[in-house]
Amino acid sequence: MLTAILKSNTIVAFVLSYLLGGLMLVLPYFFLAENSFNTDMLYAHWAFAWLQPNAAFIPYLCMIIIAIAAILSRLRLREAKQVLGNSNVVMVAFVSLIMIQPKAALARPDILVTTLIVIGTFLLLLSTYKRESVLSEIFHIGLLIGVASLFAGRTVFFLVPIGFSLLILRSGNWREWAVLSLGIVMTAIFIMMFAVWNESPFLAFLGVIQSAWSGSTGLDRVNAGHLTLIPIALIGLSGLFGSLTIGTVTERNIMLTNGAWIVGGVLIVLLLGLSWQNGIILIAFPLSVLISRTLEKMKRWWLADFLLLSLIAAPFVSILWPL
C-alpha cells in the first residue's frame, strides 16, 4: 500500500516523499563518527579550498546539495512527463541511492555539484525532443557539461552519451553539433577570463583542470546497504529492456537516453578510474527512474511495498551493518 500512496497525486504522497527523503538524508549523518569523512584531497580542489578551515561544514553543504538535486529530480518537462516515473517515488529512490554510501556522499561536494549539473543537463536534453528550434538549449547543454567537468573532470566523458542521445532525440543537424561544441569551448574561455588576472594565467588554467581531475577519495567498500539494493537494481534494469522492446517510440527514445546516461557513468568508473561509489552518485537519477517505473508497474502490491521498504532501509542498513 505504501507504493500506491506514494505514486498517488495527493498532498499526502507529496508530504510523505519529502519526509522519507529528509529522514534518509539527515539521520545517517548522526550515526557516523566525526572522523568518518576523508576530505584531505578535497582541499586541493579549486572550488572547495575555502572549506579547509571549515571542515565541519562539509557534510551540511553536501546535504544541502543533495536536497537541491532531489528537488530537481522531481522536474518533468514536455514529452518526458509520462516516461520518467512518478516524481515522489523517484525522489525517494534518488536519495536512497546517494545515501547508501554516506561516507562518500557527505564528503564529496564536487561530485554532488557535478551530479546536480548533469541532472539539469539531461533534463534539458530531454526537453528538446520533438521541438524544432532548440539551438539555445543545446548551447546550454554544452556549457553545462563543460561546467560539470570543472568540478569532476572525468564527467567530460558524458559527451559520449549526450552525442548518442542527440542522434536518438534529434535529426542530427550539423548546426546543433556546432553549437554544442561552442558551449563546451565557452567554458574554457570563462576560465581564462579569471585566470588572466593571475601572475601565470596558463598555470592557473592548468591548476583548475588538474584539481578537477584529482584522485577519488571515495571509500570503495561494499556495505550491507549495497547488497540490499542489488536485486532492486537488477529488476530496474530488466524494466529498461522491457521499455525498449514493447514501449512506444517516445518511451523507447527517452529510455535509450536514460540508459546511455547509466552506461556513460559505468564507463567513467571502468575507463577513467572514478570511485564506483561516486559513480553510483552520478547515475543515481537514471537508476531511480528505472526503479520507480518498475515499482509502479508491479501487479503484486506486497512485492512492490517490500522492495520500496528495502530501498528506504538501505541507507540505515549500510551504517548499522557495514561489511
At 144, list the grid cell.
553545462
Q: Cell numbers of 84, please? A: 520518467
Q: Which tens digits make up the pLDDT trace of 117-157?
A: 999 999 999 988 888 888 899 999 999 999 999 999 899 99
| In the predicted structure, residue 216 carries a pLDDT above the cut 60 | no
Q: Average pLDDT in the 178-185 region?
A: 92
Please, which pLDDT band fits residue 247 given cuts at 50, 70 and 90?
A: low
What is the pLDDT averaged over residues 159-186?
88
Q: Which domain holds residue 212?
A: 2-320
For residue 51, give the amino acid letter. Answer: L
Number of domains in the chain: 1
Residue 218: predicted pLDDT: 47
The answer to whether residue 279 scores a pLDDT higher than 50 is yes
The mean pLDDT value of the chain amounts to 85
Cα(first)–Cα(last) distance of the chain, in Å? 32
CA distance 237 to 232: 9
pLDDT class of 38 with cuts at 50, 70, 90:
low
Whole-angstrom distance, CA of residue 231 vs CA of residue 240: 14
- DSSP secondary structure of 227-284: HHHHHHHHHHHHHHHHHHHHS-HHHHHHHHHHHHHHHHHHHHHHHH---HHHHHHHTH
The pLDDT tens digits for 104-126 are: 888 889 999 999 999 999 999 99
81 burial type by CB count under 10 A (0-12 exposed, 13-18 middle, 19+ buried):
exposed
| Alpha-carbon torsion (92, 95, 98, 102), positive or negative | negative
Whether the per-residue pLDDT at 217 is higher than 50: the answer is no
User: What is the C-alpha separation between 182 and 200, in angstroms, rounded?
Assistant: 26
* Tens digits of residue pLDDT in 60-108: 999 999 999 999 999 887 777 778 888 899 999 999 999 998 888 888 8
| Res 220: pLDDT | 60
Residue 243: what pLDDT?
65
